[in-house]
Structure 1
Amino acid sequence: MSLFWRVFGLNAVVLGTATVLLLWAPITVSVPILVTEAVILLGGLTVMLVANAALLRIGLAPLGRLTRLMTTIDLLRPGQRLTVRGHGDVAELIVTFNAMLDRLEAERAASSARALSAQEAERRRIAQELHDEVGQSLTAVLLELKRAADRAPDPLRDELHQAQEVTRESLDEVRRLARRLRPGVLEDLGLVSALTALATDFGTHTGLRVRHGFDSGLPPMTPEAELVIYRVAQEGLTNIARHAEATHAELSLRCAEDGHVVLRLSDDGRGPGLVPEGSGIRGMRERALFVGAALEIAPGPERGTQVLLSVPVAGEQES
């Protein structure tokens, strides 16, 4: 039944019932109308309006559910759909809305994949320029400072040595930035070694104690999936260092019973929900969609925040 005929039928039922009751009821209306007659008529009108409102609410309930879903939909959290019940205009509208969500999620995933691929290519280019151009220039400056310090008198030699230390620290920082932009260890030594180096590097430069543990014999994954796991761990550790006010963090990579590889990152900080999700977390969600993974950010078992990334293995990704 279409929405028009549904509303018309509900109103017809209410009006028809009211008419039947008026015909059969031993009620007369005098002129001028008596107070008791006015009370009875107003009471009947009230009952009729209440019944009509209740029936309309039942009939239009699917539209209410659709409206609530439309206000909360987020393409970074796929899978939100309405259940289709019955037939008619409302059911067709829900089917069309679900199909629109399917199309939008597919388009969002495709556009995110293109954007992330371009982003990684740009990161590689910047890292290469930092390593080749800036790194070599700072290395040349260090050599010149060393030669100048060897020939300089004692008062000036100390200042040149200080300049050498500052330049060496700048060179180390440039190399660290290049490693963050392009994790060469991930390509050369694999995911476990890259995550180990990431945890060690964060612990060294932020003072955050990062414990890590990884299963041996993890199933094979695509290079894209390994890069997503690394970037999510990297962004998660960055968020902990910046916002969580934590002192400890734990990073693990396990193989779940369903065959998925699960990255778990937890801390003892403030916990989620205190600030809205920023670009970092939304970027993590986009990366998860890129490889069909599920990302969950929730309070930890005791305190702090827990990030869980469940990544399908290579065979499931291809299917």
Structure 2
Amino acid sequence: MFWRIFLLNAAVLTLATALLLLGPVTVSTPVVLAEALILSAGLAIMLIANAALLRLGLSPLQRLARTMATLDLLRPAPRPAAAGHGEIAELITTFNSMLDRLEAERATSSARALSAQEGERRRIAQELHDEVGQTLTAVLLELKRVADQAPEGIRMELLQVQETTRGSLDEIRRIARRLRPGVLDELGLASALRSLVNEVPSHGGLTVGRRLQTDLPELGKDLELVLYRVAQESLTNTVRHARASHVELTLRRIHDGVELRIRDDGRGLQGAPEGAGIRGMRERALLIGAQLHLEPGPGGGTDVRLVVPLANAANGSD
């Protein structure tokens, strides 16, 4: 860029000097109209040529600047083309290489973080099930034994305590299943999603529908876990924030892969910034090479789609 601008200016100034030295053109004092017009025309030509050259040469940098301003590693976009000449093309190529490294490093760190998170969830779920669950089960048995021997008035109070303890035990088991759904490992994705839908609270008037195909390609544990977590987070967001009356969960095979879709009729996104839950879904989708689409529904509400390419699904089995 430096040399192109320098050579252009040098050419214009050399031409102007040659005209003054060798041509009939002179500069008088005071300046006459013809001389002023010639000098003004030369200056205008030089400015226009410089502006055109700068506009043409810097346009790839402007596109690169727009890409840098809107860059989001959780939403991969096509790389800017290495257009331009010399240093500009080299700069864009270097930027693309840096972006590749950043995405690879983020994917690696996200995979480690999510793996550690799943391990911690598994450990907590196991402790809740084995330790807290067994302790409360023992408390229930002891309460029953004491209630059977207690007077009538005290027996009714003990039975109420027993029901409260049983409710707490059911809640702990439900939390443990959400932390690490054993049904996912034992019976597969469809059964785990069916169980997840059945656990959605209906006291707020929310109804949940499901359409789960059974003729899916073989999926690995990692892919099944991502599909399950995306469905879990989407349903949780619907219950907490959407104010919806109906939500539909669909799992089906499409021509180029597997699609998970959660659509509700709530109040929609409303331009709210993405929270940790949605960004977590995007990170999980990137780890398996899937595409996550979060859009307004056709009739309002929110439409969440996770598309796993067929090649990824075929290569995802353990």
Report the TM range for the smaller structure's normalisation: 0.7 to 0.9
Query: Any idea what the Cα deviations from partners look like across 1:86-112, whole Å, max 9, x if unmatched?
Result: 541111111111111112212221221
Match of 1:194 in 2: 192
Query: Any idea what the Cα deviations from partners look like across 1:219-243, whole Å, max 9, x if unmatched?
Result: 1111100110000000011111112
Q: Does the alignment pair 1:148 with 2:146? A: yes
Q: How does 1:228-267 map to 2 (within 5 A)?
A: 228-258=226-256, 260-267=257-264
Query: Any idea what the Cα deviations from partners look like across 1:54-87, whole Å, max 9, x if unmatched?
Result: 4312211111111111121111112431012254
Stretch deviating more after TM superposition (306-315 or 240-249): 306-315
Match of 2:293 in 1: 296
Match of 1:30 in 2: 29
1:38 is displaced (CA, Å) by 7.7
Stretch deviating more after TM superposition (286-295 or 107-116): 107-116
SS at match of 1:233: helix
Query: Any idea what the Cα deviations from partners look like across 1:247-297, whole Å, max 9, x if unmatched?
Result: 111110111112x10111111112224210111011001111111111111
Query: Any idea what the Cα deviations from partners look like across 1:103-161, whole Å, max 9, x if unmatched?
Result: 22122212212221111111111000000111111112222222222233333333222
**Residue 317 and residue 130 in structure 1: after superposition, are their counterparts in 2 closer, same or farther (change >3 A)?**
closer
Match of 1:309 among 275, 286, 306: 306
**Residue 48 and residue 307 in structure 1: after superposition, are their counterparts in 2 closer, same or farther (change >3 A)?**
same
Q: Does the alignment pair 1:221 with 2:227? A: no
Whether the 8 Å CA contact 1:203–1:210 is kept in 2: the answer is: no
Amino acid at match of 1:57: R
Gaps of 5+ in 1: none
Match of 1:169 among 144, 161, 167: 167
Whether the 8 Å CA contact 1:253–1:262 is kept in 2: the answer is: yes
Query: Any idea what the Cα deviations from partners look like across 1:153-207, whole Å, max 9, x if unmatched?
Result: 3333332222122111111110000000011111111111111111111144664
Amino acid at match of 2:299: E
CA distance in 1, matches of 2:138, 2:8: 86
Query: Any idea what the Cα deviations from partners look like across 1:32-72, whole Å, max 9, x if unmatched?
Result: x6899889967875675455334312211111111111121
Alignment size in residue pairs: 314
Percent identity between matched residues is 62
Amino acid at match of 2:121: R
Query: TM-score when scaled to structure 1?
Result: 0.87
Stretch deviating more after TM superposition (134-143 or 177-186): 134-143
The Cα RMSD (Å) is: 2.8
CA distance in 2, matches of 1:64, 1:208: 49
CA distance in 2, matches of 1:122, 1:183: 13
Match of 1:84 in 2: 82
Q: Does the alignment pair 1:268 with 2:265? A: yes
**Residue 205 and residue 101 in structure 1: after superposition, are their counterparts in 2 closer, same or farther (change >3 A)?**
farther
1:20 is displaced (CA, Å) by 8.0
SS at match of 1:202: coil
CA distance in 2, matches of 1:220, 1:315: 6
Q: Does the alignment pair 1:279 with 2:292? A: no
Whether the 8 Å CA contact 2:9–2:46 is kept in 1: the answer is: no
CA distance in 1, matches of 2:13, 2:192: 74
CA distance in 2, matches of 1:231, 1:252: 14
Whether the 8 Å CA contact 2:217–2:314 is kept in 1: the answer is: no
Gaps of 5+ in 2: none
**Residue 68 and residue 156 in structure 1: after superposition, are their counterparts in 2 closer, same or farther (change >3 A)?**
same
**Residue 249 and residue 42 in structure 1: after superposition, are their counterparts in 2 closer, same or farther (change >3 A)?**
same
**Residue 10 and residue 308 in structure 1: after superposition, are their counterparts in 2 closer, same or farther (change >3 A)?**
farther
Whether the 8 Å CA contact 1:10–1:56 is kept in 2: the answer is: no
